[in-house]
Amino acid sequence: MDTKLLFQDAAGFQTPLLAVFAVDIAVGKDAEPLVALLTTSDSVADSAAKVLASGEFKATVGETLLLHGPNGLKTERLVVVGLGKAKGLSVDEVRKGAGTAVRAAKPLGVREMAIAFPEDHALDDEHLETLPCALLSRVLVEGAEVAEKDWDTYRSERKDRSVRSLSVIAKEAEKSTRAEIQEGFDAGVIVAAAQNFARSLVNEPGNVLTPTELGKRAAAMCSEMGLKCEVHSTAKLLELKMGAFAAVAQGSEQPPALIVMTYEPKLGKGEALAKDAPVLGLVGKGITFDTGGISIKPGDGMEKMKYDMAGAAAMIGAMQAIAQLKPRVKVIGVVCSAENMPDGKAYRPGDVVTAMSGKTIEVINTDAEGRLVLADGLHYAKTLGCTHLIDAATLTGACVVALGIVNVGLFSNDEGAWQKFTDATKISGEKFWRLPCTDDYKDQIKSHIADMRNTGANRWGGAISAAMFLKEFVGETPWLHLDIAGCAWHDENKPWIANGPSGVALRSILEWVRGYSD
């Protein structure tokens, strides 16, 4: 989608479809909705006044009202998009609103559209102090660009419902304000493109996106963005003594891929990062297809296991955005990619494998393979000099049972790293819920024959057992673990996003990285 920013009056902009945002400014739990448009254009307000006065439109999040031939406007259609209550309006609602506007255009066959930039001073008593114009501009673009994608990639008779052009129309403003809006807009385009790239990787079927192919696509992105990239396979795993990672890969005819992406901030002449400057390690689980191995999964729903590399995709996409947004901090991305297959050479329940760190692991269930590849990935990132670590993985069904499909499970061994991530979510708009990984749970992964086992001693707290396992490989290094299993794939269409890959965690990881920029 060709997205551009224009500074002019939305009422005079000629377009097949103009979207304007609305909020409910009513106060009180049981108060009747009182709808207000986030525009100071009298022409736009007048064109919708009669139908808004009827009360049929409540301005709830994702609600739309379509008007044909609105009086006084040059647009052919006007769509009013609800953002919910004005009080407490957050970046999440604005993203969803922009996405809803774009999704609403698709069934109409609209190829070109515009969105009126929300003006908080359109409200008499409410102001959006928590949403500065740069952030508003960014999240609007992110929501719109992410919403435009549909994932029927391999259908031979695809219906082209793409919105090819989007204009964001901001009213004439002071030079400084225009600069802020432009800055946010530019960042939004970058972040949305990275998220959509990650989503496109997750959407690919396992017969297309093998570990080798994932490595090729990551390398191509790095070449385009000016990042250093190395892609290794079986020989390197054996050289590094990555026994846990190699064990998972050995059951497939497809070789594994160890992908290492490095971002070095460009500094001015005579500048240098402090000697104690952090080096951030982004580690992603890249199981391009997961049958469960010898502990094979039930057939029902196994086709979704192509998305078991969503953590890796989030890290690859984050590196793309980092390369363009240029934070002043070194970042190393490590992706451990393999297939988990039930071949005669596959690792078995009862096997004992030795991780790169030297720790031995009793394999209880070969379907707990993600933590094995991450164990070696996290330790390897430390050997590369990473001082802070974050991993993302579709790791456990237990996390989905605990948190459903709304919140990502978050675990951490460091309060400072966790607080920076919490601050990041205020911008990303993504939802996480912190779960414990204290030593009280360590007995769950004790083994009689090895240093640890790869699943808990019982079914209770399965997501925590997995986090406790990973914790053994980070030591004292500040670390965050994101279990994205419940949120990496949307099973249903929503007003603001198509069903399919979500790209979850990428925005939060990116903002966490930027939080360390000096």
Instruction: Summarize the annotated binding site as residue ranges.
Output: 285, 290, 308, 367, 369
Q: Are 219 and 155 in contact (CB under 8 A)?
A: no
Q: CA torsion, points 134, 140, 141, 144, in degrees to nearest 10?
A: 180
- Numbered residues of the known binding site for Mn(2+): 285, 290, 308, 367, 369
- What is d(CA 513, CA 331) in angstroms, rounded to the nearest whole number? 8
The 3-state DSSP composition of the chain as helix, strand, coil percent (nearest 5) reads 35, 20, 40
- What is d(CA 149, CA 106) in angstroms, rounded to the nearest whole number? 10
Q: Are strands 388-393 and 279-290 parallel, antiparallel or unpaired?
A: parallel
Longest dimension (CA), the chain: 79
Quick one: tokens of 80?
């009013």
Which H helix or E strand runs over 417?
helix 415-428
H helices, E strands: number in the chain: 13, 20
User: What separation in angstroms does the CA of 116 have from each of 119, 162, 366?
Assistant: 9, 20, 52
- What is d(CA 364, CA 58) in angstroms, rounded to the nearest whole number? 53
Count of CB atoms situated within 10 Å of the CB of 365: 15
What is the dihedral sign for C-alpha 40, 42, 43, 49? Answer: positive
Report which of 188, 18, 199, 44 is spatially closest to residue 114, judged by C-alpha positions.
Answer: 18
What is the DSSP secondary structure assignment for residue 458, as one 8-state letter? S
Q: What angle separates helix 415-428 from helix 506-514, to the nearest 10 degrees? A: 120
Report which of 36, 46, 57 is spatially closest to residue 11, judged by C-alpha positions.
Answer: 46
Active site positions, annotated = 297, 371
Residue whose entry in the numeric block shows the structure tokens 């949403």: 131
